[in-house]
A and B are shown apart, each in its own frame.
Chain A
């Protein structure tokens, strides 16, 4: 079974520029999550999708971050404009959405904002 795919793996941008990350979950997984992991910290949930609807975006900085999952499969996370403190690894994870279901994480995208 293919895993969670993410691209790009690395991205370097200047502050105030825009950037987008892509995630393709495991086929059939209804629930998709985006996490931000700042160096030296644990991942922090940014947003949770159930199919193409948002379940939880309480920790998403909505003034600069946006995410979508239009067809309930792939998802895109965008930052516009980026700040220095956005430098982090952005992890995508997916599950079937069942209680007790296993989580599968992608390899992450490492963003550096200069």
Chain B
């Protein structure tokens, strides 16, 4: 079974600064997806960015980018020019690409609480 580890329960950053959230995972599979989700107090899970493991190029979405190190099984999220609206819980998640029987539920880490200091 896959596991996802987020070692930072909480991170704080000044508005307009850059912050990096860490995520490591354990898997024996070669093809899979990795995601970062944002969960504000409203509880709505919002997709921030996703990465296909077979792609070497790191995914980027506006101010959000990832550093995907497949050999190290590391998938960190960098948020540039932090904004007050970025404050939320951030979850790293793993999804098998070819799970047996079609089972492909996301496996989540425990999350990192991101605080933005004005």
- Chain A residues at the B interface, C-beta cutoff of 8 Å: 31, 33, 40-45, 48, 50, 55-56, 58, 89, 91, 93, 99-100, 102-103, 105, 107-108, 110
Contacts and interface: CB of A to CB of B under 8 A. Distances in A.
Contacts of B52: 100
A41 B112 CA distance: 10
B110 A33 contact: no
8 contacts: A42-B91, A44-B108, A45-B105, A48-B104, A56-B103, A58-B103, A107-B42, A108-B44
A47 B106 CA distance: 11
A87 to B, nearest CB: 14
Contact of B111 (A31, A42, A44, A58): A42
Interface residues of B, number: 22
Contacts of B107: 45
A108 B101 CA distance: 27
A107 B40 CA distance: 11
Contacts of A103: 45, 47, 106
A102 B43 CA distance: 18
